[in-house]
Structure 1
Amino acid sequence: MLRELFINLCLLISIHYVLRFTFRSWPTPRRGLPHAARLAAFAAASLLLLLFPAHPAPGVVVDLRAVPVAFVTLYFGGWAGLITALPVIAYRVWLGGVGVYAAVPSLLAVIAVAALLRRRLPAVGPLFWPHWPGLILIFGVNGLPLLLLPGGPQLFAQVYPLLLLTNVLGALIAWGILSERFHVLRLTSQWQSAAMTDPLTHLGNRRQFDLDLTAMGPGDALLLVDIDHFKRVNDTFGHPVGDEVLQEVAQVLQREGRGRDRAYRYGGEEFAVILRDVPETSLTRVAERLRLAVQQLPLPVINHPVTVSIGAASWRPISPAQLVERADEALYRAKAGGRNAVCLWTPAAAAPTPTETRAVQG
């Protein structure tokens, strides 16, 4: 039996080395087809381990099938663990033998204990290793029903200690492999986020904007937003106050947008907003709402409202650079017309004078 369980342990480690590549992003998606495929992969891992068991007695097979199921339970929850275990239980019942009366309760008990410990025992990550005693609790229930089989005490004494040892050891090694994968994905995600985020406003930066710009399509629109007389704010009140103004405007643009819209710091005191699925007839109204929201910002430090000029352009089957040029042209006209205005780009032949709305100056 020792040789068979050692082979099963080596197989478990090899399987988890392959399973690590099913995790491709951080945080891990927990719904949809990728999630379902991942649960199926862990179920297949348990089934594969069940194909190479040890046979301590007629009708009784032992292996490390509980390790993948326990991981899924700890990481994704009890229902996910149960779904992963169902094909394994079905196959074990199909195999038959007296051992099925111990195998099914054992696996269900592992899921139950793992679900109870889920809040306290991380499945992966730097905090996983100090919690190794929790693995003894999880896998300690695996094999206890052997006592109920004919000749149970003797069979239990022969099987249980080695089964518990290999389960705990297998989980430590296999989950450690997954932990390293998650660590790399987490760091990569943090680096990508830092590379795509403006450190002052925490909006997407120019690099992120250029990337998202290429993904625009029919129904989308682009706004270029420029803070009026921003240099005067810096010269009069200093750069710390100027930074505060940038942060406040950024929060307004982010807060006033819908969930699928996104704001960016385009450069200096200029921002960009990509609007998704906005009718061209509503574009001026949406931009005007943003302009008014900025104007209503409470900024007692500078004793006067902050205003912005906005140039808007709807998506057309043109290059991203041309779309930016159109929005920039509209922004220029808004500023040339007196600032604190929204200007919508329209074809010159159809509308020589841009559509414009301007706040009433008090």
Structure 2
Amino acid sequence: MKLTIVAGARPNFIKIAPIIKAIKLSNRLDYRLIHTGQHYDDKMSKIFFEQLEIPTPDCNLKVGSGSQAEQTAKIMISFENELLNYKTDIVIVVGDVNSTMACAIVAKKMNIKVAHVEGGIRSNDSTMPEEINRIVTDSITDYFFTTSKTANRNLIVSGVKKSSIFFVGNTMIDTLLEFKDKFIKPIFWDDLKLKKQSYILLTLHRPANVDEEYKLKNFISEIIKNSRNCKIIFPVHPRTKKIIESLDVNDSNLVQLEPLSYLEFNYLTKNAKIVITDSGGITEETTVMGIPCITLRDNTERPETVTLGTNELIGTNPKSIKQALDKLFNNKWKKGSIPELWDGLTSKRIIDVLLKLEKDICL
């Protein structure tokens, strides 16, 4: 059976790394890895391939940046050409970025089966570009590999047959558990005199949080004001950097950095007192590592990180930050537990399912 695996952005790379390793261990599957080039610079792409031991892609579509429509269109045109030149039995897409949706559409229009790793997650917020990508992708997917029973229910409610849904766990956690003993201490750790649980780790990138200068400034100001003199380590996302440069948010405890590699960032996560973020994937990692996490969003597509894990969803009112940080500093944060099947074996389960489905896929 021939597989085509698609990855386009930083979160995708983390999710595909263990799948490729599981494919190689099976000795029964051939695959092509397609990098769409949605994330393309060294800090957002190349370093992830190197650190996570991902093979060089068989093809890089090099679509680059652009508006949602521009980027999606470029991916679709280039991916169609890829599938015309290299026949495949199934296209595997992961996550919820533009590459996920674009390549799923192209495959289905060419009558090629689609498997969606991380299918079924929902924020129920259609203002999020990722939510549109999830809904469209899942509406045309043939096989769903899910991270939770909540995702299963979302799919069933939308009309998906139970026989097409496979609850396998979370491939991001496969990667996290594989590399947890290889995290790299960043070069600035000693210079800043950082110690375990002595700092706050901050990430912000969602348009709703960073595109409005007033809101972004208020978020950062409230975090500084309520940090009890802890250093705030802030790897700044490229989209956030353009905006933050115009804001007067300088403080001796706010350390702004370039984006970090996977192994460096997770070293910081593992040793942080708390992580403040608007990322979904980071809340999964903090849950497994047992690190308190504040999510600056009104909703989440990963509710298990709140109901079971260490994550607290506090909304988008900057004034809510004080109460959450007070809870942390008063040692009243919940302990949390690890969701079912987030055990490092998800990718093996995915490959086992694909092998069982081989006859159906190759019809």
TM tier, smaller:
under 0.3
Structure holding more helix per residue:
1
Give TM-score scaled by structure 1 length.
0.23
Structure (1 or 2) with the larger CA radius of gyration: 1
